[in-house]
Structure formats: C-alpha cells, structure tokens
Structure 1
C-alpha cells in the first residue's frame, strides 16, 4: 500500500492472478467502515481516491484470494 497525500490517493498492488479482492477503510475515530470490491479486470495495480475521506488516521485492510488461498494486508495512513 502506498498513500500519496499530494495526489489524494492510496494505491495497492495485488498479485497478477488474484481471483477476488476488497479493501476496507476504517477511520480511527469513527465506527463506520467503507468497503470497496476490487476485480481482476482492473489489473493488479489499483488506486483509490481519498478526496472524500475525512481528516484523521485511517486503517486500510486489503484481503484477496489466489486459488483457494486467502491473504490479508493492512496499513495506516493519515489525512491531514
């Protein structure tokens, strides 16, 4: 995961042959989550705009599957 504050986006690079993926964003000071499904047709590099995200610390949880294997990765970023 790479957060680019000046471009207001967060970018994920998935394995080339992933079957299904989704990213869930959770703000530290809120109880609501935002889940975005990702499809293989979009390619392995996916960028998501953060322009509408409120200021604060956000946790991005990326889950994906390749074959029958499931994987997860997460990271924090701050929108100031």
Structure 2
C-alpha cells in the first residue's frame, strides 16, 4: 500500500499509513454493499434480501453510512421484495 510520505514525524507517518489502510477497508465494504443491493435488485429473493440487509446493517454499525440511509435502503429493498 503506497502512502504519500509528506510527514516527517514518525507518528504522523504511522497515522497516514493506518488511514490509508482504513480507507481501503471502508471502500471495499461499501463496494460489497452496493454489489449485494444490485444482486438483490436483479433477482429479488428472500435470501438475497437478508444478505443485503445484513451488509447494510454492518455498514451502518461501522459508521460508513448514516442510520437513516440504512433504514431507507432496507425499506426500498423490502418494498421490491413485496412486489
């Protein structure tokens, strides 16, 4: 993982490395969430709904998305499942 070496202080360099690592992890989790939602929309089944809902809840608990957005997304998925 490449980190821009702007900082000269050892603790600042460590913090920049940790931030880059966390950003990559957050990005992959958001990507997994979007993928699960798209998979459900392509073929709305109960199993895919539960998987997407679980991933949305995990993203909310980690603070990646706001609780209202998580609730809205799950509500939209549930309405698609009902139709």
TM-score, structure 2 length as denominator? Answer: 0.23
User: Normalising by the residue count of structure 1, what TM-score does the alignment of the two structures yield?
Assistant: 0.23
Of structures 1 and 2, the one with the larger relative CO (CA 8 A, separation 6+) is 1
